Structure 1
Amino acid sequence: MYFMGIDIGTSSVKIIVMDEDGNIKADVSKTYLIFYPKPGWAEQNPDDWWERTKSGIREVLSKTDISSDEIKAIGVTGQMHGLVLLDSENVILRPAILWNDQRTEHECEYITDCVGKERLSELTGNKAITGFTAPKILWVRNNEMEIYRKIKHILLPKDFVKYKLTGEFSTDVSDASGTLLFDVKDRKWSKDMLEILDIPESWLPHAYESMEIAGYVTKEAAEETGLKTGTLVVAGGGDQACGAVGTGTVKEGIISVSLGTSGVVFACQDGYSVDEMNRLHTFCHANGKWHVMGVMLSAASCLKWWVENNEPHTFEDLIGEAEKVEAGSDGLIFLPYLMGERTPYSDPYAKGCFMGLNMIHGRGHLTRAIMEGVAFGLMDSMEIIRSLDIPIREVRLSGGGSNSKLWRQIIADVFETDVSVLSSSEGPSYGAAILSAVGYGFYDTVEEGCKRTINISETVSPCDENVNIYNKIYNIYKGMYAKLKDTFYEISNLC
């Protein structure tokens, strides 16, 4: 008996097959392109997600002697907030607008003015930010009316792939929470928000709990993927909720830190509560509870950008140089706002920059400063969580960046706390597979599934000497945005 998890990530689809004990029997990644038509814009072709998913499923099945009959259920997760539009013939109307796209500032201002800041938080648990889905819908209405008039269905990225698998239009409560059209407290679409923004509810998919059955693999999808017709597909979840399931962050006191394309600090909550200043997002969790999280838009992607612009030097080359540099990078500080920022500033105009650069700094200093700057950005969210008296008993690190020993140590030093690293680093796809096993009935609850599958492989403790250095630098770091905010805006107007 096996379970499949599919993660429609920002840069690739990741597919895993998990056995009953949580062991990963095979995994495959398939990359696709991101398009940046204008500064601050980010788009993808939804058909690329499906094409890579189809070939990835066939490949992952071919890697083992597992037959399609033995895959009992599938869970799908993926990047949140993206806008996929289909017409009455279920044809894609335009490229998907992604979570890190920053074009909707004016639409966010309109929503805040139209609904009212306090009322918006009351209805959705959140404030309007450029990454969310509702502002994207309004942007299409304001700028592409010919396309807007043809809309019949609105889907999130993972739900488009789920539609291609099952023929059903569905989403889940965790992913729907990031649309700004969802009543997070009562776990349903907000009729008030839809009415205020004049968006038909008929365009939206049914919202299930993450472990509920959302459909079954169709004959057509089975022929294209090699799966068995009728294979159960659960609703799944947004990548952060599924990533939290994949790290066992399903009860209060455990904090998940995801060091992926974006950076996320995530805390599960048994009940619904909202940060009065909306610095953190409040969303439905994939286990029937709720969670709060802080999000930085550029985390491991900062290092990816740096590596790509230092070819032919490899990731290993650059990290090796950074390891030779002392903590604090000799006073060099990096602001990781390469795609604007969300927590705690919610500023699409924020820019990345190095501060304190002088003649003593080499490439190793810049590499280490990038890793430290990302850790400081994550610390912004951790400080807010601590200020809200949310219990913190354990911090678990996941995401591609967690594979770096140096980065793990930097996180522990900046957070001044032990950091646990898990034996499985698959994150969202692993969480999606666990959810599918719950939907199939193999586990009674998400919590049981996590307890039976997730193990800690390493605990990294902070170095006291580094902690003292980072405390001093972080105090400087967190004051830099306010000093540069107006400059960031002026620079944006030059583009």
Structure 2
Amino acid sequence: MLLLGIDLGTSSVKISVVDIDGQRLVASAQYPETEAPILTPQTGWAEQSPDSWWKQTERAIALCHQKGGYDPKDITAIGIAYQMHGLVLVDKDQKVLRNSIIWCDSRAVEIGDKAFEDIGHETCLSHMLNSPGNFTASKLAWVKQNEPGIYDKIDKIMLPGDYIAMKLTGEITTSASAMSEGIFFDFQFNGLSKDIIEYFGFSDSLFPAVKPVFSAHGRVTPAVANALQLKAGIPVTYKAGDQPNNALSLNVLKPGEVAATAGTSGVIYGVSDQLAYDPQSRVNTFAHVNYANDSKRLGVLLCINGTGSLYRWVKNTFAANMNYQQINAEAENAPSGSGGLRIMPFGNGAERMLSNKQVGAHLHNIDLNLHTPAHIFRAAQEGIACAFRYGLDIMRENGMSPTVIRAGKNNLFLSKLFTESFVNATGVPVELYDNDGSMGAALGAGIGAEIFSPTEAFSNAKPIRRVEPAATGFEEVYQSWKAILNQHLTSISSIQ
């Protein structure tokens, strides 16, 4: 028996097929191999086509099948992980009405800020655990205000993973975890937020049925099954945002456990059993995959928009003919501290941990007689590590003090230099695991189908490497980086 995991990322769709016996990876594939584009109709906007997501999913599944080694008809359940906070709109015929406004889009910041003031800080924070910010609810309000013709045609709103499940099954469902990440969920009443819905004037009919993350979200239709070489009727039994799913894939389910990822965005995600919140909403609290009315499990999420996106920009700008492995090797040739070069990795929309300010990406202290591409490569990795430290200090202010952080050995954590910079910047050991989001989604499907328990699903998960902090003088690098960031924040505040 096999499980299929789908990980809908910003850059690509990754597929994994996992054997239930021993939770063994059988095959995996991703599409496209190069990074999918983010559409930017205006500065600060970010969109992608849901129809292109589905085409990428179809292609990735086909590529996985082509690798052989299994019979697609042996797949018994499907799990889906997806890029968080995106807004998908469909009409009564399940046709997409516009491009998805995705996670790093900043157009709704002012709408969310006004809602925060009008509804009241205490009400928003104590009930939704967050400011509306530029999350999904505010994006929907933007469509209502600016595209009324489209808004009037909406039958259902969805998160990106809900859309992929709809394409597979023809059914539209969501979860408390998904609604919470969109700031549609009231934790005091364990249901959709009347404050948000009434303030923005949304109709209750726009929202899908809310089901547990681990449950049946529909069954694959005969037409889709035929196209994808699957059995008709197999269930989608798990849907979760990429960061809760990354935590699941690292067996981060209990209060105090912490996961990290450094892909297009960078995230530290810790589990809590408290309905707590950051008064400034710089870090955000959502329902974790195992959240239940009688067992509160919350994910406290720090997000940095510009991590992998900065490193991609550095590659495309300074090393278009090199791959990331070569760039990582070059970076190690530069000295620690990058010869004084500092990079701010904040050029991918408004940063929540900086109170939704758009600081932009910056290179500082460039010496034209000293700095080489290797210095830039290293400064980018060190700058991203410093951003993680800055965010982790905010989490520490809010009671999240990890003694170890688990991460998958992928994306930026493939770089030995970045991993060591992250550990030395934060002062927290990192355990690296051989995992990814699509495999986590497949295991989530097995849990949702009640094939095994969470404990059984990760019984074979062992770290492949543990990295301890070293006395390297990285604190001096961080403090100089932080001083530059504070100058920018002061400058932005004075202009406003």
> Does the 8 Å contact 2:86/2:100 carry over to 1?
yes
TM-score (norm 1): 0.93
Aligned to 2:477: 473
SS of structure 2 residue aligned to 1:14: strand
Aligned to 2:294: none
> Does the 8 Å contact 1:23/1:453 carry over to 2?
no
* Partner of residue 412 from structure 1, selected from 415, 423, 429: 423
Aligned to 1:357: 366
> Does the 8 Å contact 2:402/2:428 carry over to 1?
no
Aligned to 1:179: 182
Query: 1:235-260 CA deviation, whole Å, 9 max, x = no partner?
Result: 41011000100111111332211111
> CA–CA distance in 1 between the matches of 2:238 and 2:351?
27
Asked if 1:282 is matched to 2:293, the reply is: no
> CA–CA distance in 1 between the matches of 2:342 and 2:126?
38
Asked if 1:302 is matched to 2:303, the reply is: no
> Does the 8 Å contact 1:125/1:185 carry over to 2?
no
SS of structure 1 residue aligned to 2:94: coil
Asked if 1:137 is matched to 2:145, the reply is: no
Aligned to 1:314: 323
- Matched letter for residue 406 of structure 1: L
Asked if 1:400 is matched to 2:408, the reply is: no
Aligned to 1:203: 206
> CA–CA distance in 2 between the matches of 1:91 and 1:300?
32
Gaps spanning 5+ residues in structure 1: where? none
Asked if 1:15 is matched to 2:15, the reply is: yes
SS of structure 1 residue aligned to 2:165: helix
> CA–CA distance in 1 between the matches of 2:121 and 2:141?
18
* Partner of residue 89 from structure 1, selected from 81, 87, 93: 93
Alpha-carbon shift at residue 44 of structure 1 (Å): 0.9
In structure 2, the CA distance between the partners of 1:262 and 1:11, relative to structure 1 (3 Å rule), is same
* Partner of residue 58 from structure 2, selected from 45, 54, 59: 54
> CA–CA distance in 2 between the matches of 1:411 and 1:327?
13
Alpha-carbon shift at residue 275 of structure 1 (Å): 2.7
- Matched letter for residue 415 of structure 1: T
- Matched letter for residue 402 of structure 2: I
TM-align CA RMSD: 1.9
Alpha-carbon shift at residue 463 of structure 1 (Å): 2.0
* Partner of residue 378 from structure 2, selected from 368, 372, 378: 368
> CA–CA distance in 1 between the matches of 2:316 and 2:162?
31
- Matched letter for residue 310 of structure 2: C
Gaps spanning 5+ residues in structure 2: where? 292-296
Aligned to 1:28: 29
In structure 2, the CA distance between the partners of 1:194 and 1:447, relative to structure 1 (3 Å rule), is farther
Query: 1:90-109 CA deviation, whole Å, 9 max, x = no partner?
Result: 21111111100111122122
Aligned to 1:123: 127
- Matched letter for residue 129 of structure 1: G
> Does the 8 Å contact 1:332/1:355 carry over to 2?
yes
Alpha-carbon shift at residue 335 of structure 1 (Å): 0.7
> CA–CA distance in 2 between the matches of 1:327 and 1:129?
37
In structure 2, the CA distance between the partners of 1:257 and 1:224, relative to structure 1 (3 Å rule), is same
Asked if 1:459 is matched to 2:466, the reply is: yes
SS of structure 1 residue aligned to 2:403: strand
SS of structure 1 residue aligned to 2:419: helix
TM-score (norm 2): 0.93
- Matched letter for residue 94 of structure 1: R
Alpha-carbon shift at residue 401 of structure 1 (Å): 1.0
- Matched letter for residue 59 of structure 2: S
- Matched letter for residue 290 of structure 1: L
Query: 1:78-101 CA deviation, whole Å, 9 max, x = no partner?
Result: 001111111122211111111001
Q: How many residues align?
A: 484
